[in-house]
Amino acid sequence: MAIARYPGIVIDCPDPRALAEFYGAVLGWAIEASDDWADVRADYGQTLSFQQVADYSPPRWPTQEVPQQMHLDLMVDDLDAAEPQVLALGATKADHQPGTTFRVYLDPAGHPFCLCVS
């Protein structure tokens, strides 16, 4: 029997509302935000949370100068169709692309995330 359910993922960032708006738009999830915390929540319960951190330093991917600490793999049906959509929302495509079945991007706060063929 599990001790807990629904693991939560909390991402450090300088502006929780802005990052929640980005991921809320990418995933089509509802946004709930306060001054220093924000959540995006799917209708089936899964949640991503964002907390404000003073003196935030974004990861320096792919180097380990400032480690990525974590990243999200987001499943898509078509990489070519999904790419312009995340770019329009404020993502940037990483220069280093190590694979062919996924692409690496940086969210507006600098966290790496991947769009992966589902």
Residues 6+ apart with CB under 8 A from 88: none
Number of domains forming the structure of the chain: 1
CA distances from 41 to 32, 64, 65 (A): 8, 31, 32
User: 16-41: per-residue pLDDT in tens?
Assistant: 999 999 999 999 999 999 989 999 99
Classified as helix, coil or strand, 86 is: helix
- Name the CA radius of gyration of the chain, rounded: 14
- Strand order in 72-76's β-sheet? 72-76, 112-117, 102-106, 92-93
User: 48-93: per-residue pLDDT in tens?
Assistant: 999 999 999 999 889 889 888 778 889 899 999 999 999 999 999 9
User: 103-118: per-residue pLDDT in tens?
Assistant: 999 999 999 999 998 7
Residue 61 lies in a domain: yes
Residue 3 lies in a domain: no
pTM of the model: 0.82
Residue 1 lies in a domain: no
User: Tell me, what CATH number does 33's domain have?
Assistant: 3.10.180.10
Q: Which residue has the tokens 């320096």?
A: 60
Domain that holds residue 103: 9-117
